[in-house]
Chains A and B, each alone.
Chain A
Amino acid sequence: MSEIQPIIMPKWGLAMEEGTLTAWLVQDKTQIEKGQEIAEIETTKIANVFESPVSGTLRRIVAKPGDVVPVGALLAVLAPPSVSDSDIDGFVAGFVVEESTDADAAAGAVAERRMERNGRPLVYKTAGAQSAATPVVLIHGFGGDSDNWLFNIEEIAKERPVYALDLPGHGKSTKTLASGDLGELTDAVVDLLHEVEAPKAHLVGHSLGAAVAFRVLADRPERVASIVGIAPAGLGDRIRPDYVDSFVAAEKRKDVKAALQLLFADPGLVSAQMVEGVQRFKRLEGATEALRAIGERNLPSGRQTANFRDLVGEERVPTLVIWGDRDAILDPAAAQGLPSSVTVIRVQDVGHMPHMEAARTVNRHLAEHFDAVDRRNASGE
């Protein structure tokens, strides 16, 4: 029986309790490989492709397209041809969804933690077993939160510890800001590195979060192993002029939806639940004021106040830039003219959120980047 491997409904993000299996991308009775796209799954937040966590022969499809399946429940069964159909029947019949008593384990090893900074809460998610590998810190963009990494955090956690911060003014972190400038956001990342006792980390920043990562490099270069900028701010002077203001002002569902649709090449990805999630954040006392302050300090009137091209030109740390070629918020042309040591990946048919819209591609580039940097550092270069 141990040759039988279950494929279960994954947990994408802390809040996911069930998902809808919308389509199978593989045929029954075929060999599938670990990492192969095998199904499409829709959650209340977003639809995505599901990669097989294991290799083997697909012997039984349990969940049919359209089925709503709880996290951890059986989607399909892999087994070598030597296993009989009746053994597989028995496995399916006897399969029990693991009821975890530990909330962290139930969340696919993603846990939420809270720290205090000047008496104000900062919340972050963490995943990944204790390991000697250099940890990764994920820094979301303007108006986002740590849930933006729901398709990335567990992939990264397979190899190394990972931390995803809610920046001040965002998510579950404090809505009370000193000024909302880049320095305040940067200090929160440095505080997180202290809190988790990480002498050095790979910083992955999306949009404004990338400008935060660059600023950490400027202020505390000894703490930065490498930088990944996803649709990064900080490399150009402009941003879509109406975006920040319309996102801050949007209260009604329609307006929030219109603002969010600018972020994706495929506007159909913006579900009612994604809109409601952003509305829930924006309704919190102080959230809109915090966003407005951060916008005015960092992204006023279609401009970016911080430019790190000179810093990137100093080639202090390995730097990877990932940009969707249909980004309607930050023009990918800003990636031109960077030093040749900076790797620039252009992702086709993707908007401002490549880590959500093309999660598999982004995850692969992230893993290659982290491995290459760590190998180089280990060999003493």
Chain B
Amino acid sequence: MSKKSYREAIRDAIASEMRRDPRVIVMGEDNAGGAGAPGETDAWGGVLGVTKGLQPEFGADRVLDTPISESAFIGAAAGAAATGLRPVAELMFVDFMGVCFDQIFNQAAKFRYMFGGRAVTPLVIRTMYGAGFRAASQHSQCLYPLFTHIPGLKVVLPSSPYDAKGLMIQAIRDDDPVIFFEHKVMYDETAEVPDESYTIPFGEANLTREGRDATIVAFGRMVNFANQAADELKREGLSVTVIDPRTTSPLDAETILDSVAETGRLVVVDESHPRCSMAADIARLVAEEAFDHLKAPIRTVTAPHTPVPFSPALEDIYIPTPKKIRDAVLAVTRGRSS
């Protein structure tokens, strides 16, 4: 056991699976970097260095730098997965995903279904998401709800280094296409992460706080903010459960509904835009399945329905904060009888 960063945990997971299974390959823009430049073999490791060190260990045959053509290399990765490899493709920023929607939505996501269950597509697409990096509107979005919408895709949002490693190993071993969302401001967060291999099953939520007065469901980086809000509320006398679903597809609805049945109050925290978001999805789930348990209206804490601003002052206002989460919990618990 040792402390590892979110970045190191992901790299550790990929490297250990590459050692275990020769079918696992890595491909993407500047995954190693420096290809074709004399003397340079491991210059970049992706934009923020996650895959650095993989090419020297596994060689250029298994760690491929691709041309700057997402539609080409994501399509190639889907085809490679369908024909026997287990590619881990990196598509830098999820904001760039639009140019390869056909490869993902119509091809990779549909192979198993349209080939009568006889095809598997063990593809992992790693991608960065989220605001707070001063990277403006085209490099800061949280597009995980778009992928959650598509049957046939699995969508993973690790909120800690420990979860990042276990979910990445699970993603690589999974036989379906997995979109693996890494929050770009979390790469340097560190925590205890075992050196050994382990997997975290998809569709199993984690309870990061346990309380009686309200339930917070939060995704990705927002789990940490929800924990901060819960700790602050505890000092003020409110005990709050925080649920991290870990994966938006599949979704552990049971854990959410069980918790709401106990607390009767729900706040959903989603860094995405409010419309057609995970916040909207969870609110729909609870309104349909647990309405009788609710003692107060559901509240959501999301970014506004605007592009992510480039102005740092505006970007800070844009992102949900622990204080906004705390205020939402106070709003749903106002007038509680206990």
Contacts and interface: CB of A to CB of B under 8 A. Distances in A.
Nearest to B204: A252
Contacts of A15: 192
Contacts of A20: 234
Interface stretch (A82-90, A280-288, A372-380): A280-288
Given A20-B234, A252-B204, A280 B196 contact: no
Given A272-B209, A285-B197, 12 more contacts: A20-B234, A67-B235, A68-B231, A68-B235, A271-B210, A272-B207, A272-B208, A272-B210, A275-B207, A284-B194, A284-B198, A285-B198
Contact of B1 (A172, A251, A252, A275): A172
Contacts of B235: 66-68
Interface of A: 15, 20, 66-68, 172, 175, 251-253, 271-272, 275-276, 280, 283-285
A284 B207 CA distance: 19
Contacts of A283: 166, 198-200
A266 to B, nearest CB: 15
A253 B256 CA distance: 13
A284 B197 contact: yes
Contacts of B206: 253, 276
Contacts of A271: 210
Contact of A68 (B166, B198, B201, B234): B234
A47 B192 CA distance: 22
Interface of B: 1, 162, 166, 192, 194, 196-201, 204-210, 231, 234-235, 237, 255
A252 B206 CA distance: 10
A171 to B, nearest CB: 10
Contacts of B192: 15
B231 A280 contact: no
B237 A66 contact: yes
B207 A253 contact: yes
Contacts of A68: 231, 234-235
B194 A280 contact: yes
A175 B255 CA distance: 30
A285 B204 contact: no
Contacts of B197: 284-285
A324 to B, nearest CB: 25
For the complex of A and B, 10 pairs with smallest distance between CB atoms: A283-B198, A272-B207, A285-B197, A272-B210, A284-B198, A284-B196, A66-B235, A285-B196, A68-B231, A172-B1
A251 B235 CA distance: 33
A205 to B, nearest CB: 25
Contacts of B201: 251
A67 B236 CA distance: 9
B207 A280 contact: no
A227 B235 CA distance: 44
Contact of A280 (B162, B208, B210): B162
A68 B194 CA distance: 27
B138 to A, nearest CB: 37
18 contacts: A15-B192, A20-B234, A66-B235, A68-B235, A172-B1, A175-B196, A253-B206, A272-B208, A272-B209, A272-B210, A280-B162, A280-B194, A283-B199, A283-B200, A284-B196, A284-B197, A284-B198, A285-B196
A280 B234 contact: no
Contacts of B162: 280
A172 B207 CA distance: 23
Contacts of A253: 204-207, 255
Nearest to B203: A252
Nearest to A67: B235
Contacts of B199: 283
A114 to B, nearest CB: 10
A185 to B, nearest CB: 20
A242 to B, nearest CB: 23
A284 B205 CA distance: 18
Tell me which of B198, B201, B208, B255 has the highest count of chain A C-beta atoms within 10 A of its own C-beta.
B198
B214 to A, nearest CB: 15
Nearest to B236: A66
Given A284-B198, A285-B198, A66 B234 contact: yes
Contacts of A66: 234-235, 237
Nearest to B201: A251
Contacts of B200: 283
A234 to B, nearest CB: 31
A128 B203 CA distance: 44
Contacts of B231: 68
Contacts of A175: 196
B234 to A, nearest CB: 6
Nearest to A172: B1
Nearest to B209: A272
Nearest to A64: B235
A96 to B, nearest CB: 23
Nearest to B197: A285
B170 to A, nearest CB: 10
A253 B210 CA distance: 13
Contacts of B210: 271-272
A15 B1 CA distance: 11
Most buried by A among B196, B197, B209: B196
A167 to B, nearest CB: 16
Nearest to B254: A254
Contacts of A251: 201
A272 B201 CA distance: 17
Contacts of B198: 280, 283-285
Contacts of A284: 194, 196-198
A361 to B, nearest CB: 27
A283 B200 CA distance: 7
